[in-house]
């Protein structure tokens, strides 16, 4: 069975056909979606160049799943927000935030499933109240994580912490301490990543 760091290799050919080297069979995007749900790790490679195209294929799977009736999980408002972050200075924070948010949600899914099961047989008003409470709690946790990330990333916070009570950031000879500022920001971003890892 062909593997890549423990992951099954899926080869994508020019005719868009996908070949599972682990099972020696051709597969579809639906098959790959099933593998994801079954927690089977795989890497998709361009059959000709060997380039890793896993990201684009997984994105295509999401696109097809979203196109199926009744399966939409990404509201238009969320899609607009994601698009607005491309090219923005906050773009580097978003992937970690999303990754840790989804990891936290995955850890809590069993508790959420139990709560949803408990709602069976209850009145619509009780179901609505419980659902709203669940969403409120999850939103509060996500917002706390996001606010912490934003606080750590804010360059003004970095500079103010470097020069408390100072109106500027200059060296003894009057030159801008841009190199020191850049290093401090890098360290601040690294610290933000460590805090996000702990939150996840």
Tens digits of per-residue pLDDT, 75-129?
899 899 889 989 888 788 888 888 887 887 777 777 777 777 777 767 767 767 7
Arithmetic mean of pLDDT, 124-142 = 71
- Highest-scoring range by mean pLDDT, 36-40, 64-68, 89-93: 36-40
CB atoms within 10 A of CB 194: 11
Higher per-residue confidence, 38 vs 120: 38
The torsion defined by the Cα of 127, 128, 130 and 135, in degrees rounded to 10, comes to 140
Quote the CA–CA distance of 114 and 89 in Å, as a whole number.
Answer: 39
Query: In terms of pTM, does the model score above 0.85?
Result: no
């Amino acid at each position: 069975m062909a593997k890549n760091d423990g992951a099954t290799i899926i080869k994508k050919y020019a005719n868009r056909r996908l070949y599972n080297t682990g099972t020696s069979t051709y597969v579809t995007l639906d098959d790959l979606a099933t593998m994801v749900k079954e927690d089977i790790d795989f890497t998709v490679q361009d059959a000709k160049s060997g380039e890793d195209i896993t990201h684009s294929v997984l994105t295509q799977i999401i696109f097809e799943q979203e196109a199926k009736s009744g399966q939409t999980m990404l509201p238009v408002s969320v899609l607009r927000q994601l698009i607005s972050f491309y090219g923005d200075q906050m773009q580097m924070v978003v992937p970690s935030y999303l990754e840790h948010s989804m990891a936290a949600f995955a850890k809590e899914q069993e508790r959420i499933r139990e709560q949803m099961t408990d709602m069976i047989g209850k009145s619509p008003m009780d179901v609505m109240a419980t659902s709203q409470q669940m969403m409120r709690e999850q939103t509060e946790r996500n917002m706390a994580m996001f606010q912490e990330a934003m606080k750590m990333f804010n360059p003004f916070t970095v500079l103010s912490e470097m020069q408390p009570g100072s109106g500027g950031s200059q060296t003894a000879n009057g030159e801008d301490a841009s190199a020191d500022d850049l290093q401090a920001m890098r360290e601040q971003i690294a610290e933000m990543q460590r805090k996000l890892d702990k939150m996840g």
